[in-house]
Structure 1
Amino acid sequence: MFRPLFVFIGTRYTRAKRRNHFVSFISLTSMIGLALGVVVMIVVLSVMNGFDYEMRTRVLGMVPHATIQGRQPIDDWQALAAKVKQNPEVLAVAPFTQMQGLLTHGGKVNKVLINAVDPAEEDKVSIVSGFLKQGKLADLEAGSFNMIIGDKAATKLGVVVGDKLTFVAPEVTVTPAGMFPRIKRFNVVGIFHVGAGELDGFVAMANLHDLALLQRWKPNQVQGLRLKFNDLFQAPRTAWNIAQSLAADGHEYYSLDWTRTHGNLYQAIRMEKSIIGLLLLLIVAVAAFNIISTLVMVVTDKQGDIAILRTLGATPGQIMAIFMVQGTVIGVIGTLVGAALGILAALNVSAAIALLERMIGHKFLNSDVYFIDYLPSQLMASDVLLVCAAALVLSFFATLYPAWRAARVQPAEALRYE
């Protein structure tokens, strides 16, 4: 098969010869360094994508995209929900009531945020059913004062399904005998595990009717509506517009979206991905520019060959192309090997870290500190292509200076002492 002269010679120079094993070793280390840089960048970006994905699906699947609440309890939430559903961006609506307090059992205390829900409507706006280890939402029957709690809270309180918990509300009842806290006994009928310490440790679920009685409201009154949107990133604007349209009917409503409750965490993840990606790109750049030192050594080693080629009629452009081909071959091989290993590592990093945690008996991600308790990974083709393109471009630019130096070699000077 016909190959241009500069391609033939450039590829030959990447293979070891009897008298330049050291130069070939330097070429090999340049390939390995570039490959490792590409591997690390693909794996880390995939892990950051995993955190981003888990944040959007798990945490933001449990908390509402947005809520619509009134200054007073809402009496006819079905009618209000019908108006909200008229907005084309709204996928589903469900009622809710929240109440903070303390859970106690056997002398142990844990703070809690009770989310009172309608079991028949909750699955439309939440993914909690997919994370129930025991029990089901249908067990939250009206009037039963049943409760579903997170597994971390259950462990801390030492309860299992079937036990009873005491809920202490942050309000007191004034009687002639003095002030007494508002207390109610709940039955544990379910346990969920989302993997987010904030949810598993401090969130519980009950029935709307039960919490309305505890709040001393009418049984059909709720605090507000939970909204699920087609695009959660449009939640702030859409929720505000909905609240404004409802206020036009003479009622006073306000909206609260996920960016105000968990937005800082999400933005931190996105910013960390950008910053870490930039820092890792510098690692790839260092590995790519090792090609410069490799090619400079090759040019020094091959000055006699360059002089002979020049005397045989090779132009400076052809000499320059020879060494650009050699550097590009190093870059392409290193990038392709790194991409293959990076893809393999990104697809298996979660399982590998989980296995390592089991072997050493230590959790690298504590859900008390991080919002999930395992290392996620999501490989994206766009990231792989971007990393490979960056490595190839940097490798190509790294060939220009050594190739230019080779083109300037003077045959007479190079052959004087041969």
Structure 2
Amino acid sequence: MNPALSCFIGYRYWRARKSNAFASFITFFAVSGIFLGVAALIIVSSVMNGLEGQLKQRILGAVPQLTIHSEQAIAHWQQLAATLKTLPGVRGAAPSIATQAMVQSSDNISAVQLYGILPDADRQLSPVADHTFPEAYNALQSGSYKVLLGGELARRLNVSSGDKVRLLSGDGVVYSPLGPVPSQRTFEVAGVFEMGSQVDANVAYLHYADARRLMRKAPDAIQELRLFLDDPFAAPQLTPKVAQLLASEGLKVTVSDWRDNYGHLFAAVKMEKNMMSLMLSLIIAVAAFNIVSALVMMVVDKTADVAVLKTQGLGRADIMLVFVSQGSLNALLGLALGLLMGIVATEHINPLLSGVGINILGAGQLLPVIINPQQLLMIAIGTVIITLLATLYPALRAAAVQPANVLRYE
């Protein structure tokens, strides 16, 4: 077997002007199909990655990513936080408490997820502090009974900084002759935060001690720690490590993560991304079928040449490699053009859309884009595998040519 000779012959066939115009037409559409399929797959995948990353930042940055709950008070939470920070992927930890409540203004009432935090401990870790005024965040002090509302929630309640709202919590319910009475207290709106996601409509922050008082618990006891992660999607892998580390410290705790409340949302985004990738991959598969058609025509057109090559000593594997290399060159050309166009178009997608007057997310909002090199590699490998499989049938047909039958009347 002489692979170099076979590849050279395949290259000459690929470069030569084809006598069959229809075969050339099919080959052009095969290369164009791979080019368009790869480019579209890169653009759509990158935009979906950007949207997923934006959701991860705007939603998971504002809610607990990984929570440790202890039935007993944690005496030295600073030391425990320092220990947890040694785990790879953990940025830090801070006390936190969460409860579902109702928030009532003079105009409206709405359900809300309350988070009690220590602003000094959260400031360097939570992105919420970067999406509100510093004085509003700093106003969350113990005993001040001030609350920080999401922007959409504040608009729904028709309140602004300085207005009064009433918080009602079912965790501090007491029983009276008239029935159960929830814990409630009037709070002043310290300000609003805008994360640009659904948390703006159902999340509020207040000081940790005030939240404990609202729930009728000891204000100074620390029973929950909120962990901030480099990548919130790594929470499932970190959960057993955190539990094992705390068990070695002699603490009995339960560990939960963001999937309890927002797992369905990101599962839907992931499924949509996978389905879009599958649909666009079908374009590449259709182009691969065009390669099959073009190569079959080429085999029919070059039957006499194949017979001569066999009489010169080329074996079945050599003949197969001739047509496999020819089909692969078409695929590689389409793949290279698709990768180049996909990356360039993705990098400039917002100026291109603005130039034609298209605003997908609304006026003033740009499409988020994240190009994943690993994803590009997978697209390239998948395209090469599909096209290589497509060349096998025409190559087998060429290898089955019998020189005696073909050259009988030559």
| Interval containing the TM-score (normalised by the shorter chain) | 0.7 to 0.9
1:168 aligns with 2:168: yes
Task: Give the 3-state SS of the residue equivalent to 1:212 in structure 2.
Answer: helix
How far 1:12 sits from its partner (Å)? 4.9
| Number of positions where the alignment pairs a residue of Structure 1 with one of Structure 2 | 399
What amino acid maps onto 1:185 in structure 2?
Answer: T
Residue 83 of structure 2: aligned partner: 86
Residue 393 (structure 1) aligned to one of 358, 363, 385: 385
Q: How does 1:199-218 map to 2 (within 5 A)?
A: 199-218=199-218
* Distance 1:93-1:306 versus aligned 2 partners, 3 A rule: closer
Q: How does 1:396-415 map to 2 (within 5 A)?
A: 396-409=388-401
What amino acid maps onto 2:382 in structure 1?
Answer: A
Q: How does 1:151-230 map to 2 (within 5 A)?
A: 151-170=151-170, 182-197=183-198, 199-228=199-228
1:162–1:187 CA contact under 8 A, matched in 2: yes
- Among all aligned residue pairs of Structure 1 and Structure 2, give the percentage whose two residues are the same amino acid: 33
- CA distance in 1 between partners of 2:320 and 2:247 (Å): 68
What amino acid maps onto 1:118 in structure 2?
Answer: L
Residue 109 of structure 2: aligned partner: 109
Residue 242 of structure 2: aligned partner: 239
What amino acid maps onto 2:64 in structure 1?
Answer: P
1:104–1:157 CA contact under 8 A, matched in 2: yes
* Distance 1:400-1:215 versus aligned 2 partners, 3 A rule: closer
- CA distance in 1 between partners of 2:355 and 2:218 (Å): 52
Q: How does 1:4-403 map to 2 (within 5 A)?
A: 10-14=10-14, 17=17, 19-50=19-50, 52-54=52-54, 56-71=56-71, 74=73, 79-87=76-84, 88-89=86-87, 91-132=91-132, 136-170=136-170, 182-197=183-198, 199-228=199-228, 232-245=235-248, 248=250, 253-266=253-266, 277=277, 280-303=280-303, 306=306, 309-310=308-309, 313=312, 315=314, 319-348=319-348, 359=359, 376-403=368-395
- CA distance in 2 between partners of 1:136 and 1:301 (Å): 78
Task: Give the 3-state SS of the residue equivalent to 1:169 in structure 2.
Answer: strand
How far 1:113 sits from its partner (Å)? 1.3
* Distance 1:356-1:234 versus aligned 2 partners, 3 A rule: farther
- CA distance in 2 between partners of 1:210 and 1:143 (Å): 6
1:45–1:277 CA contact under 8 A, matched in 2: yes
* Distance 1:186-1:355 versus aligned 2 partners, 3 A rule: farther
- Cα shift readout 1:265-315 (whole Å, capped 9, x = no counterpart): 5556556656665665454333223211111122223445556x5599474
1:14–1:27 CA contact under 8 A, matched in 2: no
Give the TM-score of the pair, scaled to structure 1.
0.77
* Distance 1:136-1:415 versus aligned 2 partners, 3 A rule: farther
- CA distance in 2 between partners of 1:45 and 1:360 (Å): 16
Task: Give the 3-state SS of the residue equivalent to 1:204 in structure 2.
Answer: strand
- CA distance in 2 between partners of 1:181 and 1:321 (Å): 79
- Point out where structure 1 has 5 or more consecutive residues left out of the alignment: 364-372
What amino acid maps onto 1:387 in structure 2?
Answer: I
2:77–2:222 CA contact under 8 A, matched in 1: no
Task: Give the 3-state SS of the residue equivalent to 2:60 in structure 1.
Answer: helix
1:39–1:342 CA contact under 8 A, matched in 2: yes
- Point out where structure 2 has 5 or more consecutive residues left out of the alignment: none
- CA distance in 1 between partners of 2:6 and 2:197 (Å): 58
1:162–1:189 CA contact under 8 A, matched in 2: yes
Q: CA RMSD in A?
A: 4.0
- CA distance in 2 between partners of 1:225 and 1:273 (Å): 33
* Distance 1:179-1:415 versus aligned 2 partners, 3 A rule: closer
* Distance 1:8-1:176 versus aligned 2 partners, 3 A rule: closer
- CA distance in 1 between partners of 2:140 and 2:359 (Å): 39
Residue 367 of structure 1: aligned partner: none
- CA distance in 2 between partners of 1:329 and 1:156 (Å): 60
- CA distance in 2 between partners of 1:42 and 1:403 (Å): 30
- CA distance in 2 between partners of 1:109 and 1:191 (Å): 17
- CA distance in 1 between partners of 2:132 and 2:240 (Å): 32
- CA distance in 2 between partners of 1:235 and 1:361 (Å): 34
- CA distance in 2 between partners of 1:397 and 1:181 (Å): 67
